[in-house]
Structure 1
Amino acid sequence: MAMLLATILDPRCKRTHGWPNELRERVKVELKVQYDEIKPQNNTQPEENFSNNNSSIDRFHAYIFGPQVIEENEDTEFDNYFRTPQASYDTNPFQWWQNNKDSFPVLYELARKYLCIPATSVPSERLFSDAGNQICEERNRLKASTVTELLFLKRNSEYFNVFK
């Protein structure tokens, strides 16, 4: 799931074209759960607008209409991230998050968590091993893009139900 969360937090890939709808929604739900865990809890009471001038008309309006409550639309950060245009392919995702951390502070923290370099070389060694298994004497004329797609499917087959 970590790799899928990293993919959806990459501003170049957040639209997740080609993903089954069920997988896309499952990843968004998991991201929302983690977002809600990090999101600062706003335990303050709603802001009330009262006039400093306590004239009789103001007291009358407050009695009839009640206090004016300003409600904030929660989760705008989460929703706005998916509404913003997808970044171009040559965009540096780390620079994009650095530039947009004020707009998406909670998602910025999640991006820092998931868009990091793995601490070990095991995943890359597995990938090289898989590449060696894909390219052999019988398959030595595959295009680089085809090998890339085969390796992607191999590493992500459990999420796409391709080989089952």
Structure 2
Amino acid sequence: MTMTKNRLYETMNQRMSLLKEHPSLIAATLLDPRFKSKYLTPNAVDIGITEIVSFLIRCSSDSPVNRNAIHSSSSAEPVLVESNIQKQDESLWDTHDDNPGGTPCDNNGYDETSILKQTIECYLSEPRLQRNADIFSYWNSSPYPTLRKAVLKYLSAPPTSIPSEQMFSAAGQIYADRRSNLLGENAEKLLFSSYNIRLFGYVY
């Protein structure tokens, strides 16, 4: 059993390691004011900034970037959302919440790409929001209006029902006539095994 758990853990790490380098996911993390670049490497931050800038430049072909808004964002006051977090036992989230980060920034860009990059860097230099803050309230009143198009793209959940339909279909196969009294806990384990056993290349 221990060997199976270790194998599953290693396989999941291999799968998740690919996500750490996905430009869209990195961009979404950067645009979340609760996390920003806290858990990203410098190389990942560069990838995310490049992804966001490329998207905004593509958008500018239809709607030109408002440079006045970009320049004004450098001197705007950061918008912070207050939150009441009750301190519990020391945990990873306690460490996250106790270190909001934030350093001064200076926006002196000239061309469109430089201005956008410096706007993002200025946004990243602000202190992070508390973990239970409302990020949509932040962006609705954010001093960085040029980044809102990117926020709508990277922080929006794509509407789909396919995974849930697959799960219900698999559950329907497990709850057969001869297993109608199966406990929910056991059904959950069977569903988990059904979806993850393929990681081992097991053919059944």
Higher relative contact order (CA 8 A, sep 6+): 1
TM-score, structure 2 normalization: 0.41
TM-score, structure 1 normalization: 0.49
